Chains A and B, each alone.
Chain A
Amino acid sequence: MSSNAITLPGVQMEEKPWVGVLHDWVATVDHKRLGILYIVYALLFLVIGGVEALIIRIQLMYPHNNFVSPQVFNRMFTMHGTTMIFFVAMPILFGFANYLVPLMIGARDMAFPRLNAFSFWLSALGGLLLYFSLVGANGLYGAGNAPDVGWWAYAPLTARAFSPGHSSDYWTLSLLVSGFGSIGTAINIIATILCMRCPGMKLSRMPLLAWLNLVMSGMVLITITPLSAAQIMLLIDRYLGGHFFDAQAGGSAVLWMHFFWIFGHPEVYVLIIPCFAFMSEIIPVFSRKPIFGYPVMVAATVCIGFVSMSVWAHHMFTVGMNSYANSFFTITTMAVGVPTGIKIFNWLGTMWGGRIQFKTPMLFSIGFLFQFLVAGLTGIMLASAPLDWQLGSSYFVVAHFHYVIVGGILFALFAAFYYWYPKITGKLLSETLGKWHFWLFLVGFHLTFDLMHIPGLLGMPRRIYTYEPGRGWDTLNLFVSIGAFIQVIGILVFVANMVISYFKGDNAGNDPWDAWTLEWSTSSPPPAYNFASVPVVASRRPLWDLKHPEDPDSEYE
């Protein structure tokens, strides 16, 4: 799929040997290819993380089930969480950012192409390290030993006394390495957006995707680093005899929690903000109206970025902080819901008065809107500390955050796939298969995650490999697990769609959606140099101006 090929009449082009093609991909510094590498890498780990989830759900179908041992189950939920956050969500979002940001700001590549490649391979190494633990952590006798400390790796469970062997170290090192990769990419995105915009593209004329990735990258710089610091401390404890989290020496398990959640909460905003970006690009195009309240959307995102750094201890309402601390984190957590709600209202305002087209990207966006609304509201419930004293660490929380991550992030990602796949490959995805994918996945998602709230309300804690019958959890867990399998079918349809359409799909042309941002002005796929001549813009929707010279946006901004 070399996009560099130029066909000349009467000239036979030599097919490059596959080693050459492989070398080109491995050695590439082109932001588009790196973007694709990130995305494919993430999709592979999505399948692995999904298998881990299925193992969990099969084990929980019945009380006292024996599908896997407790040791294996505990490794499964640890690996599922770690994989999905760090080796699916982060890379796939960096992949889309890598691909789209330079195109949308009219640049020819990222600010630092080699740093870009280096960051990708660091992140890839991180994933490899984590899974190497399956064979490496305990030697080859018996099975390997994946980490089993939960994806938060609370102290003192991670101390040498309670986690002998090297499984926790693989968790630590893999995230440390991929964390540095993330920081490299974040620096690159910031430098690209601030320093490489095409002439005329003032910050106030940037597409919202660029703005939101700018905020996300800024957050990554101060979000991932606390985790890196805490992990260095953990290594010092485990290998140099340090006492950071050693209760015997006066150390504090709660300190680890603070450091982890100072990373962990803003991290979920790091994950959702690029998804807000996708929505802000897709919903306007399929409503045939510009985004409602562009300046407010920017301001709300910046606001979320700042306020989200002050809410972290809502993950610690049960650890025994005093009532003033609990009250503080209650109000900050509720407060961060305000700018988030504003965004939902602005998307609603975008659709209002429009002419909505129910193509597949829009179907997934609509799913996102409903589901993110629900997820936000269960978040408000959990923000209230006393409610969290009951519902925290229960399946209510698991349902809440999966609602955000699957119902929000994954749906937005599906929308992004259907929207930009034509640009990346030059082929349209099948609308028929897309609709099958959407409806199957929607049914499975709701069966699983709507019902999952109820065992939480009925007292089912999380991270348990089995449960007692007679607590009212049995049938609910069974249906939750069935829903998981329906989602799998939906994903299979999606994968089939991507593969079949690549070979048999309709040609997309430059601009299949009649959209308005710069990436649609170049060919599908774009040439290596992105644009024949560097674009110049005079408004937020340069292609609208071109298509409607009698009524350009530049008159109204």
Chain B
Amino acid sequence: MRRMGFSKFRVFWQSAILAFLLSASAAAGEPTSPTNIFAPASTPAKSIAHLSMFVLAITGLIFVVVFSLLVYALIKFRGRAVDAGQEPAQVYGSTQIELAWTIIPILIVVVLYLATAQVIHAVQDAPHPSSALEVTAIGHQYWWEFRYPKLGIVTANELHIPVSDPTHPTPTFLQLLSADTDHSFWIPELAGKTDLIPNHPNRMWMDPHRTGVFLGQCAQYCGTQHAKMLLRVSVDSPEDFAAWVRGQQQSAIEDNRVAVGRRIFESTACINCHTVNGTPGNGRFGPDLTHLMSRATIASGAADNTPQNLRLWIQDPNAIKPGSLMPAMKLTDADLDAVVSYMETLR
């Protein structure tokens, strides 16, 4: 691998790009972007950001040189009135110059390629330690299913993974599958995107170096509501992650105060598509709702997880996400309130 210069150099360029983007956003009155590829928080994203500094430096240099030559030529060789009628020297070419501007670009390509190949292998052929967390992500039209096979957890749309200490890494490895069309998993601050293609399992990994919530969304057009197939990754401290896992492993809380709502849920078409552990509901077409209230959003990020939004969603999904595959359930107002109360207990 060609050493990409001193880390001070890298930090300088990274800061410069970040500064440019931040000032562009600030000038535009924007808050800092949570999906900035130049704010990496995980090894794959960092490798890519560093490589992009290098590539940007070289292409930037090429741009400056050629741009300057073009501008110079336009100014120096502009036709002046005094030369009207006289033709300049008719030059047909020059073998040496042609060779020069063939060989130099070839050398530049070789250098860029070598730097790139190193990162490709580092990311794609990274070792898979046994301490890694395994998650299976299944893309659906228009939501994400997440299964933790070794932990017996099934959830949807919001991924929880542990933070990874660089000295004792605990990366997360995702297996990517699809139940219908092509999708793509993209959290810019954690890793490059990888597609979810039916009958074509893919693999990616990330090892976030800080806790927090990271945002992203589906990046391969998958149908009508591709735009609202959002992603939320919560990187937790080891204690928080363990607590989350314990919570997810429980069956649904049984609260007699919402028995009416639960009965409605169990006897309508809801259970054809949705699973709630501990009830007859074991449908897999829609997200697992066992711990719906542990999520910050509903409808794959399309709306915040509030009772009003939940009520609107169940009543008429097209009001929030037109083209979503969940049908309007056409419940009476009383039934709707009861079901929503029931859902609100699914922590």
Contact = CB atoms under 8 A, between A and B. Distances in A.
B112 A471 contact: no
Contact of B101 (A156, A345, A356): A345
Given A330-B117, A369-B70, A461-B218, A292 B24 contact: no
A331 interface: yes
Contacts of B186: 393, 459, 461
A267 B293 CA distance: 50
Contact of A330 (B36, B116, B203): B116
Nearest to B225: A70
B90 A290 contact: yes
Given A318-B192, A467-B227, A154 B182 contact: yes
Interface stretch (B54-62, B143-151, B274-282, B337-345): B54-62
Interface string A377-399: 11011001111111111100000
Interface in A288-307: 288-290, 292-296
A287 B200 CA distance: 55
B38 A373 contact: no
A302 B88 CA distance: 30
A370 B193 contact: no
A85 interface: no
Contacts of A384: 51-52, 55, 112, 116
B74 interface: yes
A323 to B, nearest CB: 4
A472 to B, nearest CB: 3
A138 interface: no
A351 B91 CA distance: 10
Contacts of A463: 221, 226-227
Given A247-B198, A391-B37, A352 B220 contact: no
B242 to A, nearest CB: 30
A113 to B, nearest CB: 36
Nearest to A159: B181
Given A320-B197, A320-B202, A290 B116 contact: no
Given A70-B224, A387-B52, A472 B182 contact: no
Contacts of A392: 193, 219
A464 B216 CA distance: 13
A395 to B, nearest CB: 11
A245 B303 CA distance: 35
A320 B194 contact: yes
Interface string B191-215: 1111101111111000000000001
Interface residues of B, number: 99
A432 interface: no
A389 B106 contact: no
A162 B69 contact: no
Contacts of A326: 120, 124
Contacts of A551: 90
Contacts of A357: 79
Interface string B173-188: 0001000111010101
Contacts of B182: 154, 156-157, 253
A157 B48 contact: no
A439 interface: no
B289 to A, nearest CB: 23
B83 A71 contact: no
Interface stretch (B26-34, B154-162, B259-267): B26-34
Interface stretch (B92-100, B233-241, B328-336): B92-100
Interface string A70-102: 110010000000000000000000000000000
B188 A154 contact: no
Contacts of B199: 247-248, 250-253
A287 B184 CA distance: 49
A24 interface: no
B307 interface: no
A290 B36 contact: no
B195 A320 contact: yes
A549 interface: no
Nearest to A459: B35
Given A323-B120, A390-B45, A472-B31, 13 more contacts: A70-B224, A154-B181, A254-B197, A318-B184, A320-B201, A323-B121, A327-B116, A349-B91, A369-B70, A377-B63, A387-B55, A393-B184, A463-B221
7 contacts: A154-B182, A253-B198, A322-B124, A355-B77, A381-B52, A386-B51, A392-B193
Interface of B: 21, 24-25, 28-38, 45, 47-48, 51-52, 55-56, 59, 62-63, 66-67, 69-70, 73-74, 77-80, 83, 86-94, 97-98, 101-102, 105-106, 109, 112-113, 116-117, 119-121, 123-125, 141, 176, 180-182, 184, 186, 188, 191-195, 197-203, 215-228, 230, 301, 322-323
